[in-house]
């Protein structure tokens, strides 16, 4: 027991949790805690330029490291600026502890300066939240916050701490145990269910693993690999699951869904058994649910019981930690297969045929034509080939989908993107956070010109905090993905989607923010400039000016069935 | 669609109830009635919720509520295996010449007269929610001025399964 201030207790709690770094911006209601930072702590503070940036940095940190990310902000606008990252972390199950200052207890409820009910605002998108008004609650609440954020299905929590609680004294003791009688995430799996799952797999003729972000969150990448290799199981991998098994693995059939390949969509939709692992039948994957994989039985593995049967009913539900479930499954399955091997040769032959038939494709540029965005991805892929130290982050839009289609990610946690919420502006700050988690890594953000303009101020953070990242802007001059929908579904009425390629001048903007700026207009300069940026040794931005009319294919229109997939139109149909 | 009664044990912490009603609102579940009060254990409240929804939805509701940190237990109260009661206050128009008739009607249902005014009287009735519905129907022609119901509360029957005799008792 040590006598100390609440503000110091917050930091001692973070230290006790092993937190290395927090991302934030100070302000009135959190000032006592910043003063405690000045008094000294082992936790590094990274000063963001916008609380949204701080939140996405904490997410990038969490996603790259598998640990809990920490963001800190003041009351009122500081707290509301954190709402987008909290919602993003909620949708993508990212463990996050957000600490906000709150006005003095005696002012709560009076509409005091910078008073906002942030626990109320964030209610729909946190696992739990606490409003701390009694200084003595700080250690137990901090302990509980980290515990809830990381256990079960990970996600964001919020700790809102009144200024008087930060300023008051307490006898500090960090508890060893949490006192949360109502928090009981599953720690075991039902053996009988696992055995049933193994039997269904052994009997299947056209099985497909449908792996999602839960595999990464559940730290079950090695176990999944072991499963698919031991039973020769093909697997599709969702956007959130990308990098859970190597993209280069012969059993990886790529991404299903709206902009996934025809191959992956066929593999999933024409299977007779879907083995869902940490995936949630998101509408961007299933399209029209009633038409989704009509002939498939479903085994659903998830830590969150509420995901099982939510969208698609599960014939065999298996709730529990994926690491454990998959280990048990593989061992059961191996025993069964020793007696009777899988009968999936015809299915594999079919998959091979589709793989050959339906690669991602685009029409290459001609000499002097505008750079094709897909070529940017291919070049990035090629110049980083064979490296295991690259982490990619992305914005949201066409560039994100091309990044998903073309980049090769063989190491777990090497692809960090905003999936469920689809938050423009995620890429740059997430990259800064990833770099803080993995200083040894080369962190590359593939961004859109629209996305970049939402959070580019965090380049200053990257530059000054010595967290160098490389940002590659696919500058098509448009809010490209929206333009694509207008092109395809709104008779080419391009309302309010034109940004221009010239304003701002991204290279100059980068320089102004303390980064190196590059501009590429011609295909011939693409590779050398990207290499130069990677070798710059500091934060660098490459503005690659691309063909604005390029659409992302294939595409399953929202609400349509996978069989209605639109492929790239023939040459003559392409708008000129 | 069918009726479901769910009993929830909840830590009595600030905001605990809000989290539940928020969950219902956000996921589009419709609450018919909600009653909350203390239990035999200090610091723990019991919430009885009545919802009209499909089997699939009630399963989702239970699973989603389980994930709330303050929720200790969620059980569906099946009609055969639980006791449910509700209290209603009903103010009915009752000119002096109709009073006796109304009070006699109340007697049949075990409804007590809680208050009498010159032109109206207020019944209090406790019973199974269906009995309250029936009483309400009967007094309606007399002119219901105001009505308040607590929403049902329920408990599982102590025995593992009810016998026919028990069923007859309720
Ligand atoms: C914060 C936010 N606002 C709006 C949208 C809707 N939206 C989705 S993609 C997109 C365009 C993104 O433009 P850009 O960053 O240039 O990427 P591109 O599609 O051109 O590659 C928009 C506006 C969104 N996803 N997020
Ligand atoms: Mg763009």
- Select the residue of A124, A131, A304 nearest B22 (Cβ to Cβ): A124
Question: Reduced to 3 states, what is the DSSP secondary structure of residue A434?
Answer: helix
Q: Give the minimum alpha-carbon distance from B89 to chain A in angstroms, rounded to a whole number.
A: 34
Interface of B with A in 109-128 (CB under 8 A): none
A470 membership: H or E segment, kind and range: strand A470-475
CB–CB contact A182 B68 (8 Å): yes
Q: What is the CATH number of the domain that holds B40?
A: 3.30.70.260
**Would you call A163 a catalytic residue per the annotation?**
yes
Which pLDDT tens digits describe chain A residue by residue (576 residues)?
Answer: 899 999 999 999 999 999 999 999 999 999 999 999 999 999 999 999 999 999 999 999 999 999 999 999 999 999 999 999 999 999 999 999 999 999 999 999 999 999 999 999 999 999 999 999 999 999 999 999 999 999 999 999 999 999 999 999 999 999 999 999 999 999 999 999 999 999 999 999 999 999 999 999 999 999 999 999 999 999 999 999 999 999 999 999 999 999 999 999 999 999 999 999 999 999 999 999 999 999 999 999 999 999 999 999 999 999 999 999 999 999 999 999 999 999 999 999 999 999 999 999 999 988 889 999 999 999 999 999 999 999 999 999 999 999 999 999 999 999 999 999 999 999 999 999 999 999 999 999 999 999 999 999 999 999 999 999 999 999 999 999 999 999 999 999 999 999 999 999 999 999 999 999 999 999 999 999 999 999 999 999 999 999 999 999 999 999 999 889 998 887 544 443
Query: Which residues of A make CB contacts under 8 Å with B?
Result: 119-120, 123-124, 127-129, 131, 148, 152, 180-183, 304-306, 309-310, 313
What is the reported pLDDT for B167?
Answer: 52
The domain of A257 spans 191-357
Identify whether residues A168 and A210 lie together within a single domain. no
Q: What's CA A348's distance to the chain center, in Å?
A: 31
List, in sequence order, every residue forming a beta bridge with A132; answer none if it has no partner.
Answer: A161
Identify whether residues B87 and B72 lie together within a single domain. no
Which pLDDT tens digits describe chain B residue by residue (170 residues)?
Answer: 899 999 999 999 989 999 999 998 888 888 999 999 999 999 999 999 999 999 999 999 999 999 999 999 999 999 999 999 999 999 999 999 999 999 999 999 999 999 999 999 999 999 999 999 999 999 999 999 999 999 999 999 997 655 555 555 54
Identify whether residues B70 and B20 lie together within a single domain. yes
Identify whether residues B20 and B56 lie together within a single domain. yes
Strands B120-127 and B112-116: antiparallel
Identify whether residues A201 and A288 lie together within a single domain. yes
CB–CB contact B19 A305 (8 Å): no
Q: What is the CATH number of the domain that holds A381?
A: 3.40.50.970
Identify whether residues A208 and A342 lie together within a single domain. yes
**Would you call A258 a catalytic residue per the annotation?**
no
Q: Give the minimum alpha-carbon distance from A309 to chain B in angstroms, rounded to a whole number.
A: 8
B20 membership: H or E segment, kind and range: helix B16-26
Asked if B68 has any chain A CB less than 8 Å from its own CB, the reply is: yes
List the residue whose alpha carbon is closest to atom 1 of ligand 1.
A424
Check residue A522 and report its DSSP letter.
Answer: S
Identify whether residues A110 and A226 lie together within a single domain. no
Burial classification of residue A257, based on how many CB atoms lie within 10 Å of its CB (0-12 exposed, 13-18 middle, 19 or more buried): buried
Tell me how far apart the alpha carbons of residues A75 and A432 are, in angstroms, rounded to a whole number. 24
Asked if B22 has any chain A CB less than 8 Å from its own CB, the reply is: yes
- Residue B170 resides in a domain: no
- Residue B160 resides in a domain: no
Tell me how far apart the alpha carbons of residues B149 and A561 are, in angstroms, rounded to a whole number. 48
Identify whether residues A233 and A300 lie together within a single domain. yes
Identify whether residues B14 and B65 lie together within a single domain. yes
What is the reported pLDDT for A572?
Answer: 43
Are residues A188 and A129 in contact, defined by beta-carbon separation less than 8 angstroms?
no
What is the reported pLDDT for A568?
Answer: 87
A13 membership: H or E segment, kind and range: helix A6-16
Identify whether residues B69 and B87 lie together within a single domain. no
Identify whether residues A135 and A212 lie together within a single domain. no
- Residue B61 resides in a domain: yes
Question: Reduced to 3 states, what is the DSSP secondary structure of residue A41?
Answer: coil
Strands A297-302 and A235-237: unpaired
- Residue A399 resides in a domain: yes
Q: Provide the ipTM.
A: 0.91
Closest residue by Cα to residue A524 from A379, A418, A384? A379
CB atoms within 5 A of ion ligand 2 belong to: A 448-450, 476, 478, 480
Identify whether residues A209 and A349 lie together within a single domain. yes
Phi/psi at A438 (5° precision): -130, 75
Identify whether residues B43 and B104 lie together within a single domain. no
State both tokens at A539. 């934060």
Tell me how far apart the alpha carbons of residues A369 and A352 are, in angstroms, rounded to a whole number. 34
- Residue A231 resides in a domain: yes
Q: What is the CATH number of the domain that holds B103?
A: 3.30.70.1150
A254: left (phi over 0), alpha (psi -120 to 50) or beta: left
Kindly list the residues from chain A whose CB atom is less than 8 angstroms away from the CB atom of residue B24.
Answer: none
Task: Compute, in angstroms, the gap from residue A478 CA to the centroid of ligand 1.
Answer: 9
C-alpha distance from residue A572 to each of A489, A568, A575 (Å) = 19, 11, 8
Task: Compute, in angstroms, the gap from residue A449 CA to the centroid of ligand 2.
Answer: 5
- Select the residue of A131, A182, A304 nearest B69 (Cβ to Cβ): A182
A334 membership: H or E segment, kind and range: helix A322-339
Q: Chain B: residue nearest A313 by CA? A: B56
CB–CB contact A123 B60 (8 Å): no
Q: Is A472 in the pocket of ligand 1 (CB under 6 A)?
A: no
Radius of gyration (C-alpha) of chain B in whole angstroms: 19
CB proximity list for A489: less than 8 A, separation 6 or greater:
A557
Are residues A557 and A263 in contact, defined by beta-carbon separation less than 8 angstroms?
no
Tell me how far apart the alpha carbons of residues A415 and A92 are, in angstroms, rounded to a whole number. 13
A148: left (phi over 0), alpha (psi -120 to 50) or beta: alpha
Total domains present in chain A: 3
List, in sequence order, every residue forming a beta bridge with B31; answer none if it has no partner.
Answer: B51
Tell me how far apart the alpha carbons of residues A232 and A252 are, in angstroms, rounded to a whole number. 11
pLDDT tens digits, A510-569: 999 999 999 999 999 999 999 999 999 999 999 999 999 999 999 999 999 988 999 888
What is the reported pLDDT for A72?
Answer: 98
Identify whether residues B72 and B92 lie together within a single domain. no
Tally of residues, chain A: 576
Q: Is A399 in the pocket of ligand 1 (CB under 6 A)?
A: yes
- pTM equals 0.96
- Residue A363 resides in a domain: no
Phi/psi at A248 (5° precision): -85, -5
Q: Is A423 in the pocket of ligand 1 (CB under 6 A)?
A: yes
Identify whether residues A159 and A41 lie together within a single domain. yes
Closest ligand to residue A451's CA: 1
Are residues B127 and B110 in contact, defined by beta-carbon separation less than 8 angstroms?
yes
Tell me how far apart the alpha carbons of residues A256 and A394 are, in angstroms, rounded to a whole number. 18
Preferred mutation among A109, A121, A182 to probe B, highest tally of B CBs within 10 A: A182
Check residue B142 and report its DSSP letter.
Answer: G
- Residue B67 resides in a domain: yes
**Would you call A492 a catalytic residue per the annotation?**
no
E runs forming strands in A6-113: 21-24, 44-47, 69-73, 96-102
Tally of residues, chain B: 170
How many Å from the N-terminal Cα to the C-terminal Cα in chain B?
A: 25
Q: Is A449 in the pocket of ligand 1 (CB under 6 A)?
A: yes
Burial classification of residue B163, based on how many CB atoms lie within 10 Å of its CB (0-12 exposed, 13-18 middle, 19 or more buried): exposed
What is the reported pLDDT for A576?
Answer: 36
B85 membership: H or E segment, kind and range: strand B82-93
E runs forming strands in A345-414: 390-394
A202: left (phi over 0), alpha (psi -120 to 50) or beta: alpha
Q: Which of A15, A20, A114, A297 is catalytic?
A: A114
Tell me how far apart the alpha carbons of residues B161 and B82 are, in angstroms, rounded to a whole number. 9
Tell me how far apart the alpha carbons of residues A33 and A11 are, in angstroms, rounded to a whole number. 8
Identify whether residues A91 and A211 lie together within a single domain. no
Asked if B166 has any chain A CB less than 8 Å from its own CB, the reply is: no
The domain of B63 spans 2-76
- Residue A561 resides in a domain: no
Please identify, by atom number, the ligand 1 atom nearest to the C-alpha of residue A476.
20
């Amino acid at each position: 027991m040590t006598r100390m201030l609440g503000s110091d207790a917050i930091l001692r709690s973070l230290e006790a949790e092993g937190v290395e770094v927090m991302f934030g911006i100070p302000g009135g209601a959190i000032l006592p805690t910043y003063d405690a930072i000045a008094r000294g702590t082992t936790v590094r503070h990274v000063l963001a330029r916008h609380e949204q940036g701080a939140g996405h940095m904490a997410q990038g940190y969490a996603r790259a490291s598998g640990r809990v990310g920490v963001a800190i902000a003041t009351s009122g606008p500081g707290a509301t600026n954190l709402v987008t990252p909290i919602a993003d972390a909620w949708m993508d199950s990212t463990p996050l502890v957000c600490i906000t200052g709150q006005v003095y207890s005696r002012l709560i409820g009076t509409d005091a300066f910078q008073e906002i009910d942030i626990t109320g605002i964030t209610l729909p998108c946190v696992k739990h939240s606490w409003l701390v008004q009694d200084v003595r609650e700080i250690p137990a609440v901090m302990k509980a916050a980290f515990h809830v954020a990381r256990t079960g299905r990970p996600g964001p929590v919020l700790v809102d701490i009144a200024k008087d609680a930060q300023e008051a004294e307490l006898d500090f003791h960090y508890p060893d145990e949490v006192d949360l009688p109502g928090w009981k995430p599953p720690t075991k799996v039902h053996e009988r269910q696992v055995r049933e799952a193994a039997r269904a797999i052994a009997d299947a003729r056209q099985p497909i693993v449908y792996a999602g972000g839960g595999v990464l969150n559940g730290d079950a990448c090695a176990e999944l690999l072991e499963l698919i290799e031991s039973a020769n199981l093909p697997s599709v991998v969702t956007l959130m699951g990308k990098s859970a098994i190597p993209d280069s693995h012969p059993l990886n059939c790529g991404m299903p869904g709206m902009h996934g390949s025809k191959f992956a969509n066929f593999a999933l939709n024409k299977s007779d058994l879907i083995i869902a692992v940490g995936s949630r039948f998101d509408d961007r994957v299933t399209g029209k649910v009633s038409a989704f994989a009509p002939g498939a039985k479903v085994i659903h593995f998830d830590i969150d019981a509420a995901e099982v049967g939510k969208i698609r009913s599960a014939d065999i539900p298996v709730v529990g930690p994926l690491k454990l479930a998959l280990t048990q499954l593989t061992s059961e399955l191996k025993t069964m297969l020793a007696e009777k091997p899988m009968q999936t040769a015809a299915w594999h032959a079919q998959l091979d045929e589709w793989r050959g038939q339906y690669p991602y494709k685009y029409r290459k540029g001609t000499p002097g034509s505008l750079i094709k965005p897909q070529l940017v991805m291919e070049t990035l892929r090629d110049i980083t080939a064979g490296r295991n130290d690259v982490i990619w982050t992305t914005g949201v839009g066409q560039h994100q989908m091309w990044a998903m289609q073309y980049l090769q990610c063989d190491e777990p946690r090497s692809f960090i993107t905003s999936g469920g919420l689809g938050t423009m502006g995620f890429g740059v700050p997430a990259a800064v956070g990833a770099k803080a988690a993995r200083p040894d890594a080369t962190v590359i953000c593939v961004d859109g010109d629209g996305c970049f303009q939402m959070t580019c101020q965090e380049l200053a953070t990257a530059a000054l905090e010595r967290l160098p990242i490389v940002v590659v802007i696919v500058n098509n001059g448009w809010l490209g993905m929206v333009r694509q929908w207008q092109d395809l579904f709104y008779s080419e009425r391009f309302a309010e989607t034109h940004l221009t390629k010239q304003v701002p001048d991204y290279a100059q903007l980068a320089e102004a923010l303390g980064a190196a700026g590059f501009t590429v207009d011609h295909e011939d300069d693409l590779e050398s400039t990207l290499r130069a940026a990677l070798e710059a040794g500091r934060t660098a931005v490459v503005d690659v000016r691309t063909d604005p009319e390029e659409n992302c294919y294939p595409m399953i229109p929202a609400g349509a069935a996978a069989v209605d997939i639109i492929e790239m139109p023939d040459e003559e149909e392409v708008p000129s | 669609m069918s009726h479901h009664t769910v009993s929830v044990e909840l830590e009595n912490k600030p905001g605990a109830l809000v989290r539940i009603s928020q969950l219902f609102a956000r996921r589009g579940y419709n609450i018919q009635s909600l009653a909350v009060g203390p239990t035999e254990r200090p610091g723990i409240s019991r919430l009885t919720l009545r919802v009209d929804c499909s089997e699939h939805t009630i399963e989702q509701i239970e699973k989603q509520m389980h994930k709330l940190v303050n929720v200790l237990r969620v059980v569906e109260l099946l009609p055969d295996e639980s006791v449910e009661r509700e209290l209603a206050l009903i103010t009915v128009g009752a000119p002096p010449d109709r009073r006796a008739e109304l009070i006699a009607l109340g007697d049949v249902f075990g409804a007590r007269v809680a208050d009498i005014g010159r032109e109206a009287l207020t019944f209090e009735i406790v019973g199974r929610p269906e009995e309250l519905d029936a009483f309400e129907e009967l007094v309606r022609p007399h002119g219901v001025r105001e009505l308040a119901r607590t929403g049902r509360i329920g408990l599982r029957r102590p025995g593992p399964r009810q016998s026919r005799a028990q069923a007859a008792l309720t």
